[in-house]
Amino acid sequence: MTLLEHIGLRGLQQIDPERAHGLALKALNAGLVPTWKGPFPSVLRARVLGFDLPHPVGLAAGFDKNAQAVTPLLACGFSFVEVGAVTPRPQDGNPRPRLFRLKKDAAAINRFGFNNEGMDAVGERLIARKRGGVVGLNLGANKDASDRATDFGTVLSQLGPYVDFATVNVSSPNTEGLRDLQAREVLADLLTRTKAVRDAQTPAVKLLLKIAPDLSDAQLEDVARVSLESGIDGIVATNTTLARDGLKSADREQKGGLSGAPLMMRSTEVLGRLFDLTGGALPLIGVGGVGSAHDAYAKIRAGASLVQLYTALSYQGPGLVKDIAVGLATLLERDGFTNVSQAIGVDR
């Protein structure tokens, strides 16, 4: 991390976290954040979901909800970026404050509630951006929607032509009733309907499902079975957790989803279990607690074909992308792998 990055990061950490997040997006668009476009070690090259990627490290949904900084984020070194969650109509989300730093735990709690500018505004930015890089779309539903599957399909129909993959988000804890969509029969109907929209209108877009880390083993079995039967292309594991075990920070009891380092163990356990349940037949994206090359490597060895990060950026800055990619290459070569794909699921 350069001195300028260190000063900027320390400054952002002294102000309200949601305001700091907005300033970080502005800094990206102003060209104030260092870029890194490689070269990337050949051992990291990944072909996943039909995409040829220079390395397996991407940005999770939630950081760039409104597709405001896709190009500069890709320039930071991410091999893919997921925007959203995006809902059909704009919505403010939950009242502020709704984002809390847990510095002692290298974590955060948020209860945003799918705040975003809506699919029309996001669509304008996706259309206007210079194409290049792999970009995903996290599908959301308005909180007052009577049929959330229809909302997912509406967003996919309108924005699908401008992205490479779309993620059905049924796992945010901050929209009432959303996690109920993970129940077997409900999920089967949701994925069938959303996939029908994809197949009819944007067949090239890969369709993924993002799940919660708080599911029981029986629920994970249902998710795996439904995912395989529905014909979707992959699973993102996991979203934030409602658990609060072992936290030390003052805001540890705030309502919302917990992300960051405390989520690493549980999310990786869920990831590994899904790898077992699907027999490695579906690509998995490991997210939750990734803050180092060792974390990313653990996800891959548990079954992840790709990894995503978000919360760790607020503590370590955008240089973390390079640190993880370079460190991951070192770990792979140390263990005798000639390509990252060889390490997927080796611990299962």
In what order do the strands lie in the sheet containing 99-102? 99-102, 107-110, 257-260
Question: 173 CB contacts (<8 Å, ≥6 apart)?
Answer: 179, 212, 239, 240, 241, 242, 256, 257
Q: Annotated active-site positions, please?
A: 172
Neighbours of 180 (CB within 10 A): 11
Q: Is the dihedral of CA 58, 83, 105, 239 positive or negative?
A: negative
- For residue 169, which of 146, 147, 152, 154 has the smallest C-alpha distance? 152
d(Cα 222, Cα 227) in Å, to the nearest integer? 8
Angle between helices 148-159 and 184-201 (to 10 degrees): 20
